[in-house]
């Protein structure tokens, strides 16, 4: 991967990483090497040969799903039409354009493995789309994540053929108009092209990958804010002890302790705090470290999904095999997304409780209630806390696992399903809500210093605090804070990314 002036560049012969999915928000140049081109062409020719041989191949010579017992349409273009059109039944909110584009990138990498029999023109069309500011308009509801993300990926193909709606530069419009503005040709499909486009878990993998990328930043942000809060309150640092955390036996907890010690280096306890702090300070290594374990597990799973082949059947020209199976069944990602969801909610609980501690004079050595410089006449972060409470409630309500909600469908052909797509979307939602909670907490820490808490003694934390203070003026009189919170969320992401780059 190379990133300089836009667009960034990715190589189809390299591994696809969760953070690469974020690059698809903007025009992204994907290179197609000769090796990738050859393996795609070789598999395509093999599929055509097998089709002409009279061998039954699912979706090529047959109907779809439980209608596999019936013959499909004789012409491949008509078969492609049927593949897509009967799935154009989605509903609900449209995916944000950057999520839809990330799904296209994930599908492209799966097709480029040369096991799906797709034509090179499809690969080239997806590459051209990613190099533009076009995005498919994809409804959120419709996939059970069992035969892949059939309905959302069908909308991707539908839009690229000039049908339905699409986004261009963030504006929703008829797909044909968006294609023209982006300088893209309408996609033509035949053979196995349509089924290869829709028969995979690329929407699930993209949403989960984006959630993981944000969750990695959230873990670093939680460490930063926990250390910053401890420093401005003058807390002792015994709870980050190397020996203490090593004795606990969890490597990610020890790593979080190390991160906290790095942030707090140079901080000196005030001597005015209790012997043992509340759990929202004292147990941060254990809580954040446990979340880090879940984030790391989700990261491992989604990397496998992004670089594997999700399709059915798969084609092996080198051995002459056509193998029918279930590589479109997104159970690994479903479990991983649900586990990530829970970790994000607990990080949200921590941030909300830390904010609650800061606004309470009984636990801050006498800082004014709600961190107001003039309590009663002005209310400072009182609204921020109410918003945080509402946000945590929303996160908790969405914490029910999707991966165990299996419902039989499709004439019991899909008699057990993982619902990984819904799990991944929820994890992405939770990561977005957690950004709000972290930003609200950061605003409160900044305000705490304004109303009497000490400036951070740690040089590293003082540098971050100065950036925060420059972004958010102190609250002297009540004012709207929504724009400020959004800006702080972006700043925290930037700081977390800087931390990642040096570790």
pLDDT in tens, 353-373: 999 999 999 999 999 999 999
Q: In this predicted structure, what is the pLDDT of residue 333? A: 96
pLDDT the model gives residue 409: 79
Helix, coil or strand: residue 78: helix
Residue 442 has pLDDT above 80, yes or no: yes
Q: How confident is the model at residue 501 (pLDDT cuts 50, 70, 90)?
A: low
Which of 219-233, 279-293, 329-343, 411-425 shows the lowest mean pLDDT across its residues? 411-425
Residue 4: the pLDDT is 47
Average pLDDT for residues 295-319, to the nearest whole number? 96
| Confidence (pLDDT) at 405 | 86
pLDDT at 500: 73
> Could you read off the pLDDT of 254-299 as tens digits, one per residue?
999 999 999 999 999 999 999 999 999 999 999 999 999 999 999 9
Share of the chain above pLDDT 90, in %: 83
Q: What is the pLDDT of residues 212-259, one digit of tens each?
A: 999 999 999 999 999 999 999 999 999 999 999 999 999 999 999 999
Residue 322 has pLDDT above 60, yes or no: yes
Q: How far is 289 from 259, CA to CA, in rounded Å?
A: 10
How far is it, in rounded angstroms, from Cα 159 to Cα 120?
19
Q: Give the integer Cα–Cα distance in Å for 210 and 495.
A: 18
Query: In the chain, count of helices (H) and strands (E)?
Result: 18, 9
pLDDT, tens digit (0-9, with 9 covering 90-100), for 116-147: 999 999 999 999 999 999 999 999 998 888 88
Report the pLDDT averaged over residues 432-442: 98
Q: Strands 139-141 and 91-94: what pairing?
A: antiparallel
pLDDT for res 463: 98
Average pLDDT on 56-69 reads 76
Three-state DSSP at 6 gives coil
pLDDT higher than threshold 80 for residue 61: no
Catalytic residues: 58
**pLDDT tens figures, 11-37:** 999 999 999 999 999 999 999 999 999
Query: Is residue 421 within 8 Å of 149, Cβ to Cβ?
Result: yes
Q: Which of 244-253, 403-412, 414-423, 437-446 has the lowest mean pLDDT?
A: 403-412
Of 63-77, 188-202, 428-442, 466-480, where does mean pLDDT reach its minimum?
Answer: 63-77
**What is the per-residue pLDDT for 71?**
77
User: What domains sit in the chain, N to C, each tagged with a CATH number?
Assistant: 8-200 (1.10.275.10), 218-310+321-501 (1.20.200.10)
**Where residue 174 falls among pLDDT bands split at 50, 70, 90?**
very high
For the stretch 147-161, pLDDT in tens is 889 999 999 999 999
Q: What is the pLDDT of residue 411?
A: 74
Average pLDDT of the residues of the chain = 93
Distance (Å, rounded) from C-alpha 92 to C-alpha 459? 48
The yes-or-no verdict on residue 172 having pLDDT over 50 is yes
The conformation of residue 164, written as its DSSP 8-state character, comes to S
Q: Which residue has the higher pLDDT, 412 or 363?
A: 363
pLDDT tops 80 at residue 169? yes
Predicted confidence at residue 502, as pLDDT, reads 53
**% of the chain with per-residue pLDDT over 70:** 98
How far is residue 37 from each of residues 13, 43, 274, measured CA to CA in Å? Answer: 10, 10, 65
Residues with Cβ within 8 Å of 107's Cβ and at least 6 positions away in sequence, in order, are: 126, 153, 156, 197, 200, 202
Q: Which residue has the higher pLDDT, 164 or 418?
A: 164
């Amino acid at each position: 991967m190379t990133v300089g002036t836009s667009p960034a560049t990715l190589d189809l012969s390299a591994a696809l990483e969760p953070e690469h999915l974020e690059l698809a928000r903007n025009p992204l140049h994907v290179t197609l090497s000769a090796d990738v081109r050859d393996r795609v062409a070789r598999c395509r020719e093999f599929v055509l040969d097998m089709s002409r041989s009279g061998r039954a191949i699912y979706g090529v010579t047959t109907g779809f799903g439980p209608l596999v017992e019936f013959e499909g349409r004789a012409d491949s273009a008509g078969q492609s039409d049927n593949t897509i059109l009967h799935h154009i039944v989605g509903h609900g909110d449209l995916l944000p354009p950057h999520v839809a584009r990330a799904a296209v990138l994930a599908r492209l990498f799966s097709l480029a493995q040369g096991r799906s029999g797709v034509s090179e023109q499809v690969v080239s069309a997806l590459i051209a789309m990613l190099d533009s500011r076009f995005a498919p308009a994809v409804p959120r509801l419709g996939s059970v994540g069992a035969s892949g993300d059939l309905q959302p990926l069908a909308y991707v193909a539908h839009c690229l053929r000039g049908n339905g709606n699409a986004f261009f530069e963030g504006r929703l419009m008829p797909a044909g108009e968006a294609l023209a503005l982006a300088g893209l040709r309408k996609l033509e499909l035949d053979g196995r092209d349509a089924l290869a486009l829709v028969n995979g878990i690329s929407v699930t993998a993209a949403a989960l990958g984006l959630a993981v990328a944000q969750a990695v930043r959230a873990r670093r942000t939680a460490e930063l804010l926990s250390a910053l809060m401890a420093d401005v309150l003058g807390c002792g640092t015994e709870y980050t002890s190397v020996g203490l955390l090593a004795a606990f036996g969890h490597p990610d907890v020890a790593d979080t302790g190390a991160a906290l010690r790095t942030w707090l280096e140079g901080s000196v306890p005030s001597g005015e705090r209790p012997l043992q702090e509340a759990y929202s300070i004292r147990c941060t290594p254990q809580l954040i470290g446990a979340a880090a374990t879940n984030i790391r597990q989700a990261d491992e799973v989604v990397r496998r999904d992004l670089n594997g082949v999700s399709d059915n059947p798969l084609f092996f020209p080198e051995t002459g095999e056509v193998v029918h199976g279930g590589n479109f069944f997104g159970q690994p990602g479903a479990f991983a997304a649900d586990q990530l969801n829970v970790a994000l909610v607990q990080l949200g609980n921590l941030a909300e409780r830390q904010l609650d501690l800061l606004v309470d004079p009984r636990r801050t050595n006498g800082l004014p209630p709600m961190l107001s410089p003039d309590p009663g006449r002005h209310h400072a972060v009182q609204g921020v806390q109410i918003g945080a409470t509402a946000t945590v409630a929303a996160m908790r309500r969405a914490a029910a696992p999707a991966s165990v909600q299996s419902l039989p469908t499709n004439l019991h052909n899909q008699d057990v399903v993982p619902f990984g797509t819904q799990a991944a979307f929820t994890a992405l939602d939770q990561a977005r809500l957690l950004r709000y909670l972290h930003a609200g907490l950061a605003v409160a820490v900044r305000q705490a210093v304004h109303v009497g808490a000490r400036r951070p003694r740690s040089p590293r934390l003082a540098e971050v605090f100065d950036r925060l203070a420059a972004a958010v003026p102190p609250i002297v009189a009540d004012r709207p804070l929504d724009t400020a919170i959004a800006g702080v969320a972006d700043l925290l992401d930037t700081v977390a990314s800087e931390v990642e780059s040096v570790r």
